[in-house]
């Protein structure tokens, strides 16, 4: 009998948002107030906390400019649900014909290709057909207990491969040389966070905490000159518990996480995670429960966290150390409990 336990994939930090706000509020008395901007975008929610809006600007103007930016990035560019978005048009476009692309989509696809190459294909934006095949996409049949056969998996793999997408940065053109479907859900929210951060930087904001669908970026301090302190969740599909705490130290950092414990199904006692290896076409079973990555870019952190989950502990931590990347790994041990490992670069952010 198949037990379906598909959950909305709200990444770890958004689940702890209430806790985070409890840490953030109340503030000490200070000359600067905190302003919050919140709403919906990219199929999820956003919340931006800003300390010290420039005097020449109003909350209304900033809210309108943020909304315009997010609408353009979502329905105008990256959405796979809006038929006229740029990504939807690319997915319908014929193979072997150049597609004129915006600077935004070129930038995101170039970063995605970079991470794909770096991780030997563990991160792949063309994985959508496999996600659907295993029941984690909009065209699922897995709920009826129909596990895909080896033959079907191999057939589907013929339509998966980041190398099937060619990027000509100089000409701002894309070209598909196979029938592929591009889905940027594993990197677009992080990119949107980065763009919002760039917006606030441009208007002179020195302190902020940004979150879209669990992807984070923070700069400076909250009121009272206190650090932003997001939490890492214990990787259990139960009531959220704090596993560890990150201390930003006033630096400008982005944080993203990935895990296998809130979006999975079980059949005959076997667990199938939504973390699917695009190289094998199958859900991973490597013992990793969750990964957190700190980087200057939320988009890059998002993509790397996904890739590390696919790669497994040994391969992922070796890569993280070789790049001096701040990464935190939570993995299962034989007793059923959790153990953790952090790269050297992550140590400075742990609030022991």
CATH number at residue 109: 1.10.3980.10
Residues with Cβ within 8 Å of 315's Cβ and at least 6 positions away in sequence, in order, are none
- Total number of domains constituting the chain: 1
Is 29 a member of any domain?
no
Q: Is residue 152 assigned to a domain?
A: yes
For 127, left (φ over 0), alpha (ψ -120 to 50), or beta? alpha
In angstroms, how far is CA 297 from the centroid of its own chain? 11
Domain extent for 110: 94-176
Instruction: Determine, yes or no, domain membership for 140.
Output: yes
Please report which helix (H) or strand (E) contains residue 155, including its range: helix 150-157
Residues 6+ positions from 146 with CB-CB distance below 8 Å: none
Token pair 């296998």: residue? 260
Which DSSP state fits 136?
-
pTM listed for this prediction: 0.87
% of residues, the chain, pLDDT over 70: 84
170: CB partners within 8 A, 6+ apart:
none
State the number of CA atoms in the 13 A half-sphere of 327 facing the CB: 32
The pLDDT tens digits for 199-250 are 999 999 999 999 999 899 999 999 888 889 888 888 776 667 788 889 999 9
Give a yes or no: residue 283 inside a domain.
no
| Owner of token pair 């490992």 | 341
| Domain contains 137 | yes
Tens place of pLDDT per residue across the chain (352 aa): 332 233 333 344 433 443 344 333 333 334 467 899 999 999 999 999 999 999 899 999 999 999 999 999 999 999 999 999 999 999 999 999 999 999 999 999 999 999 999 999 999 999 989 888 887 765 555 554 678 889 999 999 999 999 999 999 999 999 999 999 999 989 999 999 999 999 999 999 999 999 999 899 999 999 888 889 888 888 776 667 788 889 999 999 999 998 876 665 566 666 667 789 999 999 888 889 999 999 999 999 999 999 999 999 999 999 999 999 999 999 998 877 899 999 999 999 987 5
Residue 284 CB partners (closer than 8 Å, separation 6+)? 260, 273, 275, 276, 277, 309, 310, 312
Residue 211 lies in a domain: no
Two tokens, residue 109: 């696809």
- On whether residue 227 sits in a domain, the answer given is no
The answer to the question of residue 121 being in a domain is yes
């Amino acid at each position: 009998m198949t037990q379906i336990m598909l959950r909305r994939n709200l990444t770890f930090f958004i689940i702890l948002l209430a806790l985070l706000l409890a840490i953030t509020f109340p503030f000490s008395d200070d000359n600067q107030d905190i302003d919050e901007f919140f709403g919906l975008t990219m199929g999820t929610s956003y919340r931006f906390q800003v300390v010290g809006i420039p005097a020449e600007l109003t909350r209304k103007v900033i809210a309108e400019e943020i909304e315009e930016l997010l609408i353009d990035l979502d329905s105008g560019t990256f959405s796979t649900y809006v038929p006229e978005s740029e990504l939807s048009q690319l997915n319908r476009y014929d193979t072997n014909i150049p597609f004129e692309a915006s600077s935004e989509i070129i930038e995101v696809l170039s970063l995605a290709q970079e991470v794909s190459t770096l991780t030997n294909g563990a991160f792949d934006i063309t994985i959508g057909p496999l996600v659907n095949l295993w029941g984690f996409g909009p065209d699922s049949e897995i709920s009826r207990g129909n596990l895909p056969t080896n033959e079907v998996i191999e057939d589907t793999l013929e339509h998966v491969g980041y190398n099937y997408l060619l990027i000509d940065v100089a000409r701002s053109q894309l070209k598909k040389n196979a029938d592929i479907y591009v889905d940027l859900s594993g990197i677009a929210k992080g990119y949107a966070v980065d763009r919002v951060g760039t917006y606030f930087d441009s208007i002179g904001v020195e302190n902020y905490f940004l979150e879209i669908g669990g992807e984070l970026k923070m700069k400076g301090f909250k009121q009272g000159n206190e650090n932003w302190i997001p939490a890492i969740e214990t990787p259990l599909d139960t009531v959220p518990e704090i596993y560890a705490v990150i201390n930003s130290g006033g630096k400008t950092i982005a944080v993203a996480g990935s895990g296998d414990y809130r979006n999975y199904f079980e059949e005959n006692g076997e667990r199938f995670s939504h973390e699917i290896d695009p190289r094998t076409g199958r859900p991973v079973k490597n013992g990793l429960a969750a990964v957190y990555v700190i980087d200057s870019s939320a988009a890059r952190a998002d993509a790397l966290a996904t890739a590390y989950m696919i790669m497994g502990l040994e391969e992922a931590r070796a890569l993280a150390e070789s790049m001096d990347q701040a990464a935190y790994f939570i993995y299962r041990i034989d007793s059923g409990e959790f153990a953790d490992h952090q790269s050297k670069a992550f140590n400075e952010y742990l609030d022991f």
